[in-house]
Structure 1
């Protein structure tokens, strides 16, 4: 059922891709007729989240990835398209320590929460664009979205932890060759002044500076429309409490306005995603579980990968 090169125990290992070996196995697999009309949407299944020891490792993510790889191999005949998002960051962004200082010139520790009031009271100050940073914090709080969290540096463009988890990289390469359809990659998270949990849009799309409006992103409607053209859209990735949750919420917001029945096209592979561990005052696992329950009530299928 699985290619000879695939070894489940490699899910937590870093290694170079074996392109030629994979290509040979694709030839041997011999596609049977036409492909199905399903898509697989993989959200941020990167080394920075899935490799034990990584700065923002999500516990259990390496096992999620192994199950996802096996899902791909079992369903290679039905998967017409694989789309992967890649969380993509730089040093000086509003959610990184380097962007902030206190009165002593110290940077905040990872997982520090910074509020609008903190900046007004001079507890923390941005190194640049104070007015825009304040507007960002104000909008977050008014919308009751996630508070600004200082995340550990992670998935920096050009770094090892930006790449797909190696075992998964091989699986999507295999599927691209088998389906004659290249994997599509979407970079997200590059804006300096906003977080970007959802693949569809950043947390804030417009900031205000005096009488000026400054665009810092837009909603990726083309992505949603592309996904909904498929018969079924399987969704997996990390983390279920953040980027997966936010992305599905955005897709469902579009579906609600256009065709609520389309929610039934979405299949969340619940055993191929895990939440960020709980922090003081933030029970992320509970948030993830509540989100899955909420999605199911809209018609989304919350399933186990082994059902397919």
Structure 2
């Protein structure tokens, strides 16, 4: 009997365009203000609801579930807390930063002691040619409401655990403050001084031990894409023939649609199979 592994990538509140009924009350607010997602992706809330229904209805067919969690510190290279604009003000979110910008003083590293390691990262990232470094809104800080798993997904995971008696594996990524870490497997530029940024061989082995890996989560253009690319790069088979991407359970960050389509074309050549959650559910049942 073939084994099936569900890989859910970053199903967290900060990435979901949640309706107000899903917002949490800010306990520090004197007016009862609600906590809202800081980096919502259009369509992600509906993605997570479909994905939760899939997990609930396909529960008997799933042998293992792994959930990755984007997990950041308060000061980190991908958020405004690391950066200053030329005039000394805070660098706005959604600002792309290149090594040349720092070299010419257009943008500055807030703490000068970190400039060398940040420059090394920017130069290495640009040499790879995969991404330009982006300053994102502060998101998924460990311990915050935004870091938590979407409520419908959490309910589905608890139900699967109760049915199977197997714990859902949780994989944190992004704790290294000096490198971006989209992929579930390895940071964009691994930090030699930080094992958490280096290849997660345990996770890779777990995925490769399964006959089918079903993938959903956010964002398709970044964390989902990079995970699948690194599976090809580091996996023993060098392809995606055992992977099924639930295309109705992922969404793209606005502005990155073309990059995602280019990725999909290549991934399908490498064996990636696309399916909707309803189509795959009917097949499994």
TM-score category (smaller protein): 0.7 to 0.9
Measure, in 1, the Cα distance between the counterparts of 2:107 and 2:218. 30
Shift of 1:259: 2.4
TM-score of the two chains, using structure 1 as the length reference: 0.81
Shift of 1:196: 0.3
Measure, in 2, the Cα distance between the counterparts of 1:288 and 1:71. 24
The answer (yes or no) to whether the contact 1:43–1:238 under 8 Å persists in 2 is yes
Q: Secondary structure at the match of 1:161?
A: helix
Corresponding residue of 2:38: 55
Corresponding residue of 2:67: 84
Measure, in 1, the Cα distance between the counterparts of 2:50 and 2:141. 26
Q: Secondary structure at the match of 1:241?
A: helix
Measure, in 2, the Cα distance between the counterparts of 1:81 and 1:160. 26
Q: Which has the larger radius of gyration?
A: 1
| 1:296 and 2:271 matched | no
Measure, in 2, the Cα distance between the counterparts of 1:203 and 1:214. 15
The answer (yes or no) to whether the contact 2:176–2:194 under 8 Å persists in 1 is no
- For the aligned residue pairs, the C-alpha RMSD in angstroms reads 1.6
Corresponding residue of 1:105: 88
Shift of 1:177: 1.2
Which residue of the other structure, out of 145, 162, 168, is the alignment partner of 2:153? 168
Corresponding residue of 1:234: 214
Which residue of the other structure, out of 92, 110, 132, is the alignment partner of 1:127? 110
Runs of 4+ in 1 over 3 A off after TM superposition: 213-216
| 1:222 and 2:202 matched | yes
Measure, in 1, the Cα distance between the counterparts of 2:86 and 2:223. 33
**Residue-by-residue CA offset, 1:225-253 (whole Å, 9 max, x unaligned):** 11111121100000000000000000112
The answer (yes or no) to whether the contact 2:2–2:212 under 8 Å persists in 1 is no
The answer (yes or no) to whether the contact 1:36–1:78 under 8 Å persists in 2 is no
| Structure 2 segments unaligned to the other structure (5+ residues) | 19-35
Measure, in 1, the Cα distance between the counterparts of 2:232 and 2:7. 15
Shift of 1:290: 2.3
The answer (yes or no) to whether the contact 1:93–1:193 under 8 Å persists in 2 is yes
Q: Secondary structure at the match of 1:272?
A: coil
Which residue of the other structure, out of 42, 53, 77, is the alignment partner of 2:8? 42
Shift of 1:214: 4.1
Corresponding residue of 2:250: 273
Corresponding residue of 1:19: none
Q: 1:76 to 1:215 in 2, by over 3 A?
A: closer
Corresponding residue of 1:194: 179
Measure, in 2, the Cα distance between the counterparts of 1:118 and 1:201. 26
The answer (yes or no) to whether the contact 2:17–2:37 under 8 Å persists in 1 is yes
Measure, in 1, the Cα distance between the counterparts of 2:6 and 2:70. 17
Shift of 1:215: 4.5
Corresponding residue of 1:20: none
TM-score of the two chains, using structure 2 as the length reference: 0.87
Measure, in 1, the Cα distance between the counterparts of 2:169 and 2:209. 15
Corresponding residue of 2:240: 263
Shift of 1:288: 1.7
Corresponding residue of 1:9: none
